[in-house]
Structure 1
C-alpha cells in the first residue's frame, strides 16, 4: 500500500469479503459466533482478533471503537470479531471474564487453523476488549504473535488499588451487563419486568449508587438477574477476582512470545495495572508502552477535561488508532517494517520501549522502560495547625529545609456529606467532569487538608508513581485517605496531576487491619503513574481528604463492610495528620533523572 492509503475509510463492501455469524466451538463444546472480514484475493493472510464481551454488532460498544475492522481488513489482514461466551450471539454463560483465558486460547488457535490464515495471529481491543486480549496473552497460545491493549485492566476487579470500591462505575457496569443476562432468560414475562427495572435504575443512576446497603439494590440483588455476581463484586477483596478466576497477567506477568503494545492513560481507572505490567516487561524487547494524559474515554478522542494537551488526540482521526495497530501487526505478524503506515510508525518507531506524554512540558518523549530512571525528592508537610482548605496554613517544604517544627492538623470526614470527586479517573459522563479539572472547585472545603509549596525556581519533572507517607490517627476503626497531587499555576488554576487512595482496613493485605482510635500509624498512599513537569513559578500542592464520592463508596467508619452498611450507623470521623520533621509524614516524588527522557 502507499502512504496515501493510510486512514482511508470506505463501506464494508469495498474490497472485502465479510461473513457474519461464523461458528467456533470451545474445548468444552460452547458455540461462539464471529464476524470475519477478509481482504479480496486468494490469501492467506495474518489474522487479528477482537473478542467482545458486549455485542459484536454494536459499533459503539467495541467493534469500531479504536479501529474499523473493515479498514483493518483492507490493510491486508483477516479480521475476526467474536462475541465472548454468554454475550451477544454466543452461547454459554458469562462468567465475568474468568472464561476468557481458555476461550481466548481456543479462539487464537482456531483462527490460526483456518484456510484463509497464515497461522500468525494478533489480538487487540480497548477496555473490556482489552481485558479479553490480556486474558488471551496470559494463556500463551502458540500462534499468538502480537497484541494491542488500550485502556484495559489485566483482571476484573471492583476495587481500586488501596481498597475502596469503585461504586459509581461498578454499579452502572453491573446494570449494563445484566441486560444481556436478562435477555437470555426463558421466562419472558420475568425478563420483561427485570429489563424495565434495570432501565429504571439506569435512568436514575445517581440515586441507584447512593443506595445503601449496595447489596440491596434492585434488581441487582436478584441472583436471576445477575447470576449472583453483584454480591461477589461488592464483597471482593482489593486486587482479587471472584472465585473461579483463572491466571491473569497481574499474578503472572509473562507475555511469552507475544509482542505486546499497551496504550495507557494517566487518568484512566485501569492504568495502575497497565503500568505495573509495563514495568514488569522492562527487559523485554517485545514490549512497547504509549502513555498519555487520557482518561478511560479520552483515549478515543484526546479529550482531557478542562485542558486539551496538544498532540494527544487519536492518531488516525476517524480511523482512531488504526494506523498504530496496522503498523504493529505489519511488523509482528507478517514481517514488515511498518513503513506503509508512517503515521502509526511515528507513535511506535524510534528508540526506547516507551513513548510518554510529559504534561507541563506538553511534549512527547521516549524512554527505555517504564518508569523512566528517577531520583527521589522528599517534601515535608508542615503547618501551624490549620491546614484545612486551600486558605489554611499548610505548607510543603523541601526535606533539606531546617528550622521546622512538628505539629498536627485535624480534619473531619462525614459519610453523609463526603468530600466530592473532582476530575480524575472517571469512566462515564454520568459520574461528573473527568480528567483535568480545576481543584479550586473543592479545595475551599473544611474537610480537606491542603499543603502547598512556594513557587518553584527551576522546573521539576516527575515520572512513574508517587507516594504520600502520613503519620495518621483517627477516632474511627476504619478510614479512607484520598490524596491528590496538584500543580498550582501562576493564575491560580489548580490542576490535578495524579491521585491515590487507601481504605485502612485493607492496608496490610487483610480485611480487618483496624485502627486503634487515637493511636498514630504510618500509612503509605501510592499515587497513580504520571509524567508531569512543574514549571518555574508553579507550586506543588497535595490535598488529603477522607472521601472521594461518587467515584468511591463512602466509608462508614465502623467495622461493617461499607457497601453492606447503612448511613444510620455511619459515624463522623476525626482524623489527625502529624506533620513536620519529627514525624514520618512526607511527600515522596520521583524526579526524572538527567537524560532519562528524550524529547
Structure 2
C-alpha cells in the first residue's frame, strides 16, 4: 500500500533537512585540520569586535630614524579628545592589557579609569631600547650634552612622539598632557625641556630626579643596596629579575657579601654597565650633577603647567618632586605654573588604592580623592575643548596625617622653623638645655636593621617599611632615643624637618641616621593595634665624609665635634595631644644602606673586610653644640 499523503509529506521534509545537514557538514569534513600541522600561530587579537574601545599599536619614528612602540587606547566614538601620554621602560603592552576584558576601564589600571571613562585618549610608549621599541637603552638617559654625545634624549623623543600623535590621531583635539610615576615621572619631567607646543600640562608623580642626593641610588652619599635588583631587572634581556641571593633574610645576605663591590662581583653584576657606573661614581661628581633634573629645569623657564606629586612615605623617590618644586619657585620665580601635592602614600600609591598604608588607615580612598579632586580638574581645564572648567591657581595641596584632612597652602614649606632640642635623660626640649652628651658604640658587624628580621626588600614589606612600628629599635644599645613629655596641644608640621646634629666619632668616617617619630598613647581603645605605636614621620641618613660638602669627601678627625646637617622628607603631619614626639639617632640602617666601615677608605663601595671597625659615637646636646631637629611648625 502506498504511504498516506500526510506521512509522505513528513518523510519528504525530513529527507530535505537531512540533505541540508549533509551539505553544511561537507565543507567541514573536507577542511579537517591535519593532525601534524604546526599549532603555533603568529598572533591573537584579544580585543574583540564587541569591545567598547579601540586599541591601536604603532611605531612612531624619531628624528634619528629609530621607531618607538606606542599603544593608543580610547573608547569607541571618541572625538575632539585630549591625549594623556606616558613614556615608560616598564612595557607599554602590559600597561594597556592589565586584564583581557572588553571593557576599557578594566583594561587600564585603576589610576587611568577616571580619565578614559571621561573620553581621554590614553597613550603608552616604550622608551627607546626597551621591550618593543628600537634603539639603545640607557638608564635615565641624560640630556644631550656632556653626558650624551648623541642628538636624542627623552626630551627629543617626547617632542617627536607628541608631534606624531597630534598629526595622526584624528580623534584628538591636538592637546596633550604627560604623566607617569617614578621612571615615568622622570620622562614626564624631561618632556618639559624644550616642550612641543601641543604639550599643555604635566603630572609627574614621585619622579626620579637626582639619584645621588635623595632618590633611587644614594641618599646624602649613602648607597641604597636595593638598586642592584632594579638594575638587573631593567637592563638584562635574559635572566633578569631579582639578584639570585635566595629568599631568606636580606640582612644576612648583604652582610655576608661585604661591600657593595663584593656583593656585585659575587653575583656577576659588574657585567652590567649601569652597575659599573654607580660603583665608579660614589661621590656627587659631574656624572650625577649633570643628570639632576631639578638643576636642568631650574635653569629654564617653565612654560607648561605642572603638578608635582610625591608620597609622604615614598620609599624610593621622596626627594625629587619637592626638589623640582623648590628649583622652580626659588627667588624671583614665584609665578611659575607649578603645584605640589604631598599625600599619605608609598611610592606611586596616588595612582592606586589610598585607603591604607601599613597600619595607618585614612578617611576614605586618598588616591581616588587625589585623582578626582586635584589631578583631573588640573588636566581638564588645560586639555579639554568642550566647556573646560576654569583653571585653579597653582598651589600646594597636602594631606595632614594625624588629622586626616586635605589642606592647601600658597607656598612650601608652610611652617616656621622651630627647634626641638635633644636634652639630658633621653628627653626633648623646646628650649635649649645645658650642655651634655650621650654615646653609643656602632659596630659594622652588627648594623642596626631597618626592620625586625628577617627582612625582605620587596613586596608589601618594602612598600610600607617607612611606617612600621619603631619599637624594635627603641632600647637598643646602639640607638639613642629622645622623647618629649606627653603633648597637651597639637604640633602641626608642614615642610621638611631639618636635622642639626653635633656629633663626634672615634673613627675616621661615620653615618648618622635620624628618625622623627610620633609615639601613640600606651592605651588606645579606639584602635588597640596602635597603642604605643612608634610611627616614623621621617627617616633619613647622612654620610659623614660629606660634612664639608657633597662634592668634597674627606676623613673625619677622631674626637672632633662636627655639625652635620640634612633634611628629613617633606611631611604634613599633626602630632596630636596625648601623643609624644621622639627622635632616634643611630649609625646604620641595614640592609637598605650599605655599611660605613668607619675607617677612611677612598670609596666605601670597595671597602675590604679589614676596613670595617667599631667606633664610639658621641652626640652633643645643649650649650654651644646644641643638637636639634628643626620642625616646620604651622600656626593652626
Q: TM-score range by the shorter chain?
A: 0.7 to 0.9
Alpha-carbon distance in structure 1 between the residues aligned to 2:161 and 2:586: 46
The answer on 1:137 being equivalent to 2:187 is no
Go from structure 1 to structure 2 and tell me whether the alpha carbon gap of 1:66 and 1:520 turns closer, same or farther (over 3 Å shift): farther
Alpha-carbon distance in structure 2 between the residues aligned to 1:471 and 1:376: 18
Equivalent position of 1:192 in the other structure: none
Structure 1 counterpart of 2:294, from 225, 232, 249: 249
The answer on 1:17 being equivalent to 2:54 is yes
Following superposition of structure 1 onto structure 2, how do residues 127-206 of structure 1 map, counting pairs within 5 Å? 127-157=182-212, 158-168=216-226, 170-178=227-235, 181-183=236-238, 195=239, 200-201=244-245, 206=250
Following superposition of structure 1 onto structure 2, how do residues 85-484 of structure 1 map, counting pairs within 5 Å? 85-98=128-141, 99-116=153-170, 117-157=172-212, 158-168=216-226, 170-178=227-235, 181-183=236-238, 195=239, 200-201=244-245, 206=250, 209-210=254-255, 211-216=257-262, 217=264, 221=268, 226=272, 228-237=273-282, 242=287, 248-253=293-298, 254=300, 256-268=302-314, 269-282=316-329, 283-284=334-335, 286-296=337-347, 298-299=349-350, 300-302=352-354, 303-315=356-368, 321=371, 325-335=375-385, 353-372=395-414, 374-383=415-424, 393-399=425-431, 404-422=433-451, 428-429=459-460, 431=462, 433-484=464-515
SS where residue 471 of structure 1 aligns? Answer: strand
TM-score with structure 1 setting the length: 0.82
Aligned residues of 1:66 and 1:125 also touching (Cα < 8 A): no
SS where residue 418 of structure 1 aligns? Answer: coil
SS where residue 331 of structure 1 aligns? Answer: helix
Go from structure 1 to structure 2 and tell me whether the alpha carbon gap of 1:568 and 1:119 turns closer, same or farther (over 3 Å shift): same
* Cα shift at 1:482: 0.4
The size of the alignment, in residue pairs, is: 542
Alpha-carbon distance in structure 1 between the residues aligned to 2:196 and 2:240: 42
Equivalent position of 2:43 in the other structure: none
Alpha-carbon distance in structure 1 between the residues aligned to 2:347 and 2:97: 13
* Cα shift at 1:490: 2.0
Alpha-carbon distance in structure 1 between the residues aligned to 2:486 and 2:516: 15
Aligned residues of 2:209 and 2:319 also touching (Cα < 8 A): no
Aligned residues of 1:162 and 1:238 also touching (Cα < 8 A): no
In structure 2, list runs of 5 or more residues that go unmatched. 1-46, 99-106, 142-152, 523-531
Aligned residues of 2:209 and 2:292 also touching (Cα < 8 A): no
SS where residue 301 of structure 1 aligns? Answer: coil
* Cα shift at 1:255: 6.3
* Cα shift at 1:246: 5.4
Aligned residues of 1:396 and 1:451 also touching (Cα < 8 A): yes
Alpha-carbon distance in structure 2 between the residues aligned to 1:246 and 1:111: 28
CA displacement 1:239-297 (0-9 Å, x = unmatched): 66847955723443356221211221111131222112223444346322221121215
Go from structure 1 to structure 2 and tell me whether the alpha carbon gap of 1:409 and 1:551 turns closer, same or farther (over 3 Å shift): same
Aligned residues of 1:471 and 1:577 also touching (Cα < 8 A): yes
SS where residue 51 of structure 1 aligns? Answer: strand
Following superposition of structure 1 onto structure 2, how do residues 467-546 of structure 1 map, counting pairs within 5 Å? 467-491=498-522, 492-507=532-547, 508-546=549-587
TM-score with structure 2 setting the length: 0.77
CA displacement 1:51-106 (0-9 Å, x = unmatched): 1112112239999456347x634422222210001111111111112132332232
Aligned residues of 2:502 and 2:625 also touching (Cα < 8 A): yes
Alpha-carbon distance in structure 2 between the residues aligned to 1:530 and 1:427: 24
* Cα shift at 1:126: 1.2
* Cα shift at 1:471: 1.7
Alpha-carbon distance in structure 1 between the residues aligned to 2:96 and 2:617: 44
* Cα shift at 1:308: 1.6
Aligned residues of 1:101 and 1:247 also touching (Cα < 8 A): no
Alpha-carbon distance in structure 2 between the residues aligned to 1:255 and 1:12: 47
SS where residue 67 of structure 1 aligns? Answer: helix
Equivalent position of 2:126 in the other structure: 83
Go from structure 1 to structure 2 and tell me whether the alpha carbon gap of 1:51 and 1:24 turns closer, same or farther (over 3 Å shift): same
**Stretch moving more, 151-160 or 92-101:** 151-160
SS where residue 200 of structure 1 aligns? Answer: coil
**Stretch moving more, 209-218 or 567-576:** 209-218
**Stretch moving more, 500-509 or 155-164:** 155-164
In structure 1, list runs of 5 or more residues that go unmatched. 1-9, 184-194, 340-344, 384-392, 595-599
SS where residue 293 of structure 2 aligns? Answer: coil
CA displacement 1:371-399 (0-9 Å, x = unmatched): 22x2232222222xxxxxxxxx2111112
Alpha-carbon distance in structure 1 between the residues aligned to 2:362 and 2:486: 23
Aligned residues of 1:279 and 1:371 also touching (Cα < 8 A): no
* Cα shift at 1:131: 1.5
Equivalent position of 1:388 in the other structure: none
Aligned residues of 2:211 and 2:218 also touching (Cα < 8 A): no
* Cα shift at 1:25: 1.9
Aligned residues of 1:23 and 1:31 also touching (Cα < 8 A): yes
Go from structure 1 to structure 2 and tell me whether the alpha carbon gap of 1:469 and 1:245 turns closer, same or farther (over 3 Å shift): closer
CA displacement 1:470-521 (0-9 Å, x = unmatched): 2211111111000000112221322111122110112312252221011111
**Stretch moving more, 52-61 or 550-559:** 52-61
Equivalent position of 1:188 in the other structure: none
Alpha-carbon distance in structure 2 between the residues aligned to 1:291 and 1:146: 19
SS where residue 364 of structure 1 aligns? Answer: strand
**Stretch moving more, 80-89 or 353-362:** 353-362
